[in-house]
Structure formats: structure tokens, C-alpha cells
Homo-oligomer: A and B are copies of this chain.
Amino acid sequence: MKIVVMKFGGTSVANLSKIRDVAKIVEENSQKNKIVVVLSAMSGVTNQLQSYVEEVSSEPSRETDLVITSGEQVTVGLLSMILNREGVKSLPLLGWQVPIITDENHEKGRILNINNETIYHHFKSNDVIVLTGFQGISVNGVITSLGRGGSDTTAVAIASSLKAVRCDIYTDVEGVYTADPNVEKNAKKINKVSYEEMLEMSSMGAKVLQTRSVELAMKNNLTLQVLSSLTNTEGTYIVNENKLIEKEIVSGVSYSKNESKITISGIPDKPGISAKIFGLMASNNINVDMIVQNISQDGVSANMTFTVLTKDIELAKKTLERNNNELNYTNLSTDSNIAKISVIGMGMMSQSGVAEKMFKTLADKQINILAISTSEIKISVLIDKKYTDLAVKTLHSVYKLDNK
């Protein structure tokens, strides 16, 4: 039995007419394979539910998850209804009916287990299973949600669990681009990209796919496709690097504006201090991104800079201040007026001079670099937020990514 998982986001199911369009795409695909469709809630509904919750409390709880996971139930019911009326044998399922077991970390649940036997069982008498994205249930029977973009995670997790031939992520763009087309008009659609590159692009701000879902696909060697629900064209395939014939030196330029920088200086330079700092962040569920550490000039204390999501910056600051009796730093400063610019490419590994070119290009444009972080396949820098577009456009051109 060949299974394809198809995921549609909130804008693709924003109203009944759009859900009918989705039904057509699903129907077409169901003639070749068994299909699991994973749906988000109607985009307007999610915002409404979110605003109710925020008006009452900002603290994630059993209740907030109950409220914000109610929307997928509607889209799943409606799509399955339409499919059945069109003669496609379809069955709707909620997260807990599979079940998709998660931990009990509200609004940030992580999937622990999926009982794929339920899906196989229902495929005996159905060609399509329409499953709610975003939601799960803990072993204690408490409903949970997977966080922003959680439907991608649901889709990839179920596809991995079922050993699906492919997981198609439908969205309102035609694929992954060499840069954000809203910023760089000459951005090109990429045909194939490796998990590693996509991972760097996602975590660096390319909004098409959630980092977690790419990680999960990579771990399970699952082919992803990002494509548009509006046009009937192939999108971008995200695959194992072995499947890439030609490895681009730089395959894309991305940016993120929703991070803030924390700099701690005068930390006693002794073992265990980083573990302590990032342990504090982790125990408060604050994700840390870039980390740059330097020995200071006196040789006995260190400076550390790292970035967190801007929404977490206040909590991060307070947590560090509260624990300064253990940390003993001398100064702490934060800056939310920054952007992170990254260039990404598998070819970088075997090519020198990529970083130098980036630094020189930015310097030529008088853009000051506040911090640098590199991996085998990407270079990221922090700059002043106001230079974001300029940096993206210039780098896109310098690395010859412009569409001809």
C-alpha cells in the first residue's frame, strides 16, 4: 500500500470554497495512492480563538489547548463530507482518535508516539483519511497542541510513521525560494534542496516549513515537497543530500527579524557556566538560537551573546537576573532591534571564501556585523534590523542567485 500525506494550511482551508478546491486536489491524488490529509483550522478561526485565549491569560494550559485545537475539527469534518459526496471514500479523524500521543507541554507539545494501526485499519474501507493537524493527547488523556506550524509536524510525523512515499506540504507559495520573494524580486524557486539546507533556511526565517518538521523528515529520510494549493505545478523537493546531483555553493539567502540578542559580560570563565545558562533557558522553555562566546581581554572572564525569540526576551532576562547569585556576571544587555541574515548551501563545505565574500559584501555596504555564527553549510550574521532588505538583496546578487 503506497501512502502519500498531503498537508494544507489555514489559508488553503480558509472557507468552504477553498475546502472544495482542496477536495479536488485530494481526489486527483487518491486515484494513485492512499491519502492521509492533514489540515489546519481555517486561518481566520485560529486567530479568533487565539485572541480569546490571549484576552484571558497568556499562560499555556490544558484550557488554552482545548480552545485553540477546536478549529481543525471543523475543516476535517467539512473536507471529509465533501469527499464522500464526491464518491471518494473518506474518514475524518481527530488527533486523540489515532491517538497521536504527546508530552504534556501545553502549546509546545512534542509527539511521543503515533498508533499507525488505526490508520491502516481505516484504510481497509477508506481511500482517504482526513486528520486534524496541530493537536495531540497526553498519556493522561489531556489534549495538547504542537505550537505554531504544528500541522507540518503532524504531517511529517504521520508520514514517517506510515513510511509514506512522500509528504506534500501545500501552501500559498510555489515552493522554497533562494530568498524571500517579497524582499528580493529576482528570487528563484529551488527544485531540490537537502534537508540540511532546508533546516538552516527554516530556522533562519524562511517561513515555508517549521524547523521541527524538517528535522523529523531528515531523521526518517522522508521526501518532502513544498508546493502551492493554487497552481498545479511541481514545488520544491526536500530530499537526502545524496539525491542532489549538483550541489549549489549557496542555495539561498534568508533572514529573521523576530529574534533578540542578549549579551552577558564579565562571566567568570569556569567549566559549567554555559551549561548553567542554557539549562536555565531550557527549563523555562526558551529556545536559544545563535550562541557566540569570547574570552574577554582580561583572560579570566568571558562574554557571551545569544539570541532568543523576541517574545521570550523578557522572560530570558528576568531568569538570568534572578539567578545572578550563581552566574556572577557583571553586565547584561538586550537588543531587539536586530536581524539575522544567513547564506546557506551544501556546496560551502568544499568551497572556501564564501564567508569572506559575505563579510566583505556587507562591509562594502557599511553594514556593521554584530555577531557571527557558522556551521558547515551556513553562515549567519546579526546586523541592525533596518539593513535587512539591503543585505538580502546584495547577497542574493553577489552569490549569483538572481533569476535570469
A positions within 8 Å CB-CB of B: 16, 49, 52-53, 55-57, 61-67, 69-71, 73-74, 76-78, 80-82, 84-85, 91-92, 94, 96-97, 141, 143
Is A77 within 8 A of B64, CB to CB? yes
Q: A62-B92, A77-B67 are in contact. Are A55 and B16 (CB under 8 A)?
A: yes
Smallest CB gap from A81: residue in B: B63
Chain B residues with CB under 8 Å of A143's CB are 94
Smallest CB gap from A15: residue in B: B52
- Interchain nearest-CB distance for A389 vs B (Å): 39
Smallest CB gap from A76: residue in B: B66
Copies of this chain, how many? 2
User: What is the bound-complex CA distance between A69 and B73, given in angstroms?
Assistant: 9
Is A57 within 8 A of B85, CB to CB? yes
Chain B residues with CB under 8 Å of A80's CB are 62-63, 66
User: What is the bound-complex CA distance between A80 and B85, given in angstroms?
Assistant: 38
User: What is the bound-complex CA distance between A108 and B140, given in angstroms?
Assistant: 30
**7 residue pairs from A and B, CB less than 8 Å apart:** A52-B78, A53-B81, A62-B80, A62-B92, A64-B81, A66-B74, A67-B81
User: What is the bound-complex CA distance between A57 and B77, given in angstroms?
Assistant: 12
Could you say which of B62, B65, B81 contacts A57, with CB atoms under 8 Å apart?
Answer: B81
- Interchain nearest-CB distance for A295 vs B (Å): 47
Is A67 within 8 A of B63, CB to CB? no
Smallest CB gap from A67: residue in B: B77
Q: A62-B92, A81-B61, A92-B62 are in contact. Are A70 and B67 (CB under 8 A)?
A: no
Chain B residues with CB under 8 Å of A78's CB are 52-53, 56, 63, 67
Chain B residues with CB under 8 Å of A73's CB are 66-67, 69-70, 73
Q: A76-B66, A97-B141, A141-B97 are in contact. Are A56 and B81 (CB under 8 A)?
A: yes
Q: Which 7 A/B pairs are nearest by Cβ-Cβ distance?
A: A66-B77, A67-B77, A63-B81, A70-B73, A63-B77, A70-B70, A63-B80
Is A63 within 8 A of B84, CB to CB? yes
Is A92 within 8 A of B66, CB to CB? yes
- Interchain nearest-CB distance for A259 vs B (Å): 30
- Interchain nearest-CB distance for A71 vs B (Å): 7
- Interchain nearest-CB distance for A200 vs B (Å): 37
Q: A63-B80, A141-B97 are in contact. Are A85 and B56 (CB under 8 A)?
A: yes
User: What is the bound-complex CA distance between A82 and B97, given in angstroms?
Assistant: 28
User: What is the bound-complex CA distance between A96 and B97, given in angstroms?
Assistant: 10
Chain B residues with CB under 8 Å of A63's CB are 77-78, 80-81, 84, 92
Could you say which of B56, B92, B94 contacts A16, with CB atoms under 8 Å apart?
Answer: B56
- Interchain nearest-CB distance for A99 vs B (Å): 11
Chain B residues with CB under 8 Å of A52's CB are 16, 74, 78
- Interchain nearest-CB distance for A82 vs B (Å): 6
- Interchain nearest-CB distance for A262 vs B (Å): 30
Q: Which of A76, A78, A91 has the most CB of B within 10 A?
A: A78
Chain B residues with CB under 8 Å of A77's CB are 53, 63-67, 70
Smallest CB gap from A85: residue in B: B57
User: What is the bound-complex CA distance between A77 and B69, given in angstroms?
Assistant: 10
Q: Which of A49, A77, A92 has the most CB of B within 10 A?
A: A77
Q: Which of A55, A66, A141 has the most CB of B within 10 A?
A: A66
User: What is the bound-complex CA distance between A1 and B92, given in angstroms?
Assistant: 40
User: What is the bound-complex CA distance between A46 and B117, given in angstroms?
Assistant: 34
**A56-B81, A69-B73, A96-B96 given. 15 additional CB < 8 A pairs?**
A16-B55, A16-B56, A52-B74, A56-B82, A56-B85, A62-B92, A63-B80, A63-B92, A65-B77, A66-B92, A67-B73, A67-B74, A67-B81, A70-B70, A94-B143
User: What is the bound-complex CA distance between A63 and B90, given in angstroms?
Assistant: 10
Chain B residues with CB under 8 Å of A49's CB are 74
User: What is the bound-complex CA distance between A195 and B156, given in angstroms?
Assistant: 55
